[in-house]
Structure 1
Amino acid sequence: MRKTSSHIIFWIAYAFYFFLSGFITIPQKFAQSHNMIQNVVISVSEIIICFYLLIHRILPFTLPTKRYRILFFLLITLATLSSLGNAFFVYLYSHFITNNTFSFYKSCTVGLNNVYLSIHFALAYWFATNFVQNVREQSKAELQKSILEKSILEAELSSLKNQINPHFFYNSLNFLYAQALPVSRRLSDSVMLLSEMMRYTIKENDAEGKVPLEQEVKYIQNYFAIQQMQFGENLQLQIDIIGNINYRRIHPLTLSPFIENALKNGDLSSAEQPIKVLIETQENDLFLTIIYLRKKGIKESEVYDDLIEIRRKLYIVYFNNHVVKFEHSENIHKIFLKLSL
């Protein structure tokens, strides 16, 4: 809308300049040879038509692919048609409206001059817009590079903070499981679930850094099971899986941050509105849908701040191969994720 308004303002200003410059330069000849309004309307209209033909059709078709011969031919054709068109309209206007003397040569000359001006305008506009677009794309690429470098730095710092071998924790959990088994079945089951989750997080990935999708889903189910042990019947959640999750691979811990966000900000005890999680696969795409009731005391901005951070980290791994959408109605929040596996 802003771009259209700018174009309209420019052409109105140019028409006024065209009228004023012609009147000041040769006032008598300008007024006698042609009607001033006729001259402005026909010439400016011709320039506008040629300008948009050039920037939307001719230049995009020829310049990016360096088809200079075709460009030259099209410009000659445009100049010829424009000259003849200008002569035709001037003839009609002079013959039927003003009864002024018609000059074919002069009308064609004016038409050629209009094409000449439109070519200058179009080339200037073409190179200016391409320059601005290149600058924007370069700025966007530099921003993405900066975000990636920052994320790498954060990962390195996190690695420094966690220099203790994670296998130590995994082995310790197995030891605690063996110790807890005679004491409490509930406690030992909890430790076993934690052990399985730890094993998943330290497991080596394939060459692409991916793991089987069923292991990611199993990790989420274990996470839910631990939460269920902690909250008992007060925890209201529902998880459904549609489609085949076997023989598909995903980057580890891709889905779990969305689940954790829902349990962190959602009302866990609402029987009328339980936390609903749907994992669905269709061909090479994975869909995750989460619906939950926002917990009292949690601000909407807090929810979206967390989700934006999750989406930022997801972009580093999947780039443009994913879509994330957030929706809310009153206190009901919906999260939609689409991944190309």
Structure 2
Amino acid sequence: MLKHKKRYSFWKVFWVVLGVNLVFTVLGFIALSVSPMYSKDFNWNNLFTRHYLLSQLISVAFSSAFYFFAVNSYYALFYERRPASDYVKPTVIAVVALAAYFAFTYFLAISKKITVSINNSKIEQELTPALMVFSYVISSVFFIGMALLIAYLTHLRDERKQRKILEAQKMQLEVEKSQANFNFLKAQINPHFLHNTLNFLYAKSLPYSPELSEGILTLSDIMRYALSEGNAKDGKAPLKDEIEHVRNVIKINQLRFSNKLNVKFNVEGVVNGATIIPFVLITLVENAFKHGDLKSTEHPIDITLKVHDHQLYFYCRNKKKIGPKELSTGIGLDNIKKRLDLAYGNNYCLKVKDESDFYTTELTISKL
């Protein structure tokens, strides 16, 4: 029954039961001491007899174990919203445990008699089986009823507390959503400003330097792609646009180095109609330009893209630079992996081979 995490620990139940038992015991003895009928025979020393202390110890131990089991079991049923039929098993166990406890305490009792008051006189009466059964039924209803009540009230309190936590989390999410929308708008404003500025610079540079104006125009095209693509519901862009801007990245780098770079870029297959998350291929190519030996005639940057039956294979290999290396944080590659995970799950494979002289990346997407 208690496979879940227990709502109340045994020792917490024990100390509560012990406290309640002490309070009611003291109150009972005080009531007897002031009662006209019992005060003459009352003796506070009865509190400390061996038999009385043993009976109280057994009572506290049983009550602690009983409530520990019953309250936690009923709480689990309330928490999991189980049907009424599931309450039968813990209730039967509780009834059997109470019957065993009552039988044990009856045989442990020194006297099998009780004292009742009738017309201001005390009469001793034998504990008959019928009286024992009646006492057992009343006590069982009280014990089980209390366990159910405690479990139910605890469940209501926990639900109310959890509801408040969820409401607070919902409010926090709303705040974060508003902040994200604000940041998104701000992030759009800044690139738009840069895009417009690039167009202005292109227009101004055109009469003076065709190469400079071409570089500015190419960069402006890439910025427009960054702003406009990937806005579909699935966050993907046409593969042909990604390829076009891979060529733009190559063009800008060629302009930087007066068209002296050795780059091979081959595309095979039908790319029209295919989509891909934007800037994945561009980032891999940029990484090759950043860390590669761009002027090696024997080992040019080799970029190959193949598309067949909705499957994509991308290959990029470059010879490493000789001399001081640019510091790399690896953030770009980590971001690519996270984006690929979200977009394609298990339908992709990204391999990175970092050798002493060469750096190779291979990306396979089995379902575009």
Relative to the length of structure 2, the TM-score reads 0.48
Q: 1:236-261, CA deviations, whole angstroms, 9 ceiling, x for partnerless residues? A: xxxxxxxx9986656656x599879x
- Is 1:87 aligned with 2:98? yes
Residues 210, 249 of structure 1: 8 Å contact kept:
no
State which of 139, 152, 157 in structure 2 corresponds to 1:110: 139
Residue matched to 2:165:
136
Following the alignment from structure 2 to structure 1, what is the Cα–Cα distance between the partners of residues 325 and 161?
Answer: 47
Measure how far apart 1:152 and its partner are.
Answer: 2.4
| Equivalent-residue separation in structure 1 for 2:138 and 2:103 (angstroms) | 17
Q: Secondary structure at the match of 2:81?
A: helix
Q: CA deviation at 1:23?
A: 3.8
Classify 1:123/1:299 alpha carbon distance in 2 versus 1 (closer, same or farther; 3 Å): farther
Deviations 1:20-76 (A, max 9, x none): 4324433669964972232222222222222222222244225xxxxxxx54x665x
Aligned residue for 1:200? 225
Give me the whole-angstrom Cα distance separating, in 1, the residues matched to 2:214 and 2:177.
Answer: 39
Q: For residues 54 and 203 of structure 1, what CA distance do their matches in structure 2 show?
A: 57
Is there any run of 5+ residues in structure 2 with no aligned partner, and where? 27-45, 113-128, 259-269, 294-309, 313-323, 346-366
Matched, 1:17 2:42: no
Aligned pairs for 1:230-249 (under 5 A) are 249=275
1:242-297 Cα deviation digits (max 9, x unpaired): xx9986656656x599879x96xxx9479xxxxxxxxxxxxx9x9xxxxxxxx999
Inter-partner Cα distance in structure 2 for 1:149 and 1:46: 51
| 1:45 corresponds to which of 53, 62, 65 | 65
After superposition, the Cα gap between the structure-2 partners of 1:56 and 1:150, relative to the gap in structure 1 and judged at 3 Å, is same
**d(CA) in 1 for partners of 2:193, 2:222:** 19
Over 3 Å counting, the alpha-carbon distance change for 1:14 and 1:54 in structure 2 is closer
- 1:52-71 to structure 2, matched below 5 A, reads 52-62=72-82, 70-71=83-84
1 or 2, which has the higher helix percentage?
Answer: 1
Distance (Å, rounded) in 2 between the aligned partners of 1:247 and 1:128: 56
Task: Indicate yes or no: 2:154 matched with 1:125.
Answer: yes
The higher radius of gyration belongs to 2
Q: Give the match's secondary structure for 1:61.
A: coil
For residue 50 of structure 1, what is the amino acid of its counterpart?
A
Structure 1 range deviating more: 205-214 or 83-92: 205-214
Identity of aligned residues (%): 9
Superposition TM-score, scaled by structure 1 size = 0.51
Write the distance in 2 (CA, Å) between the matches of 1:99 and 1:321: 74
Q: Secondary structure at the match of 1:35?
A: helix
1:212 pairs with 2:237: yes
Question: Quick check: 2:198–2:217 contact (8 Å CA) kept in 1?
Answer: no
In the TM superposition, what whole-angstrom CA distance separates every residue of 1:194-237 from its partner, at most 9, and x where no partner exists?
A: 355245235466763744363575378458647865699xxxxx
Contact 1:55 1:122 in 2 (8 A): yes
Q: Count how many residue pairs are aligned between Structure 1 and Structure 2.
A: 275
| 1:4 to 1:74, Cα distance in 2 relative to 1, 3 A | closer
Cα distance in 1 for partners of 2:178, 2:69 equals 48
Give the direction of change, closer, same or farther, for the CA distance of 1:151–1:25 in structure 2 (3 Å limit): closer
Amino acid at match of 2:101: V
User: Structure 1, unaligned stretches of length 5 or more?
Assistant: 63-69, 233-243, 271-283, 287-294, 323-339
- Residues in 2 aligned to 1:246 and 1:86: alpha-carbon distance in whole angstroms: 75
Alpha-carbon distance, 1:99 to partner: 6.8
Within-5 A mapping of 1:183-194: 194=219
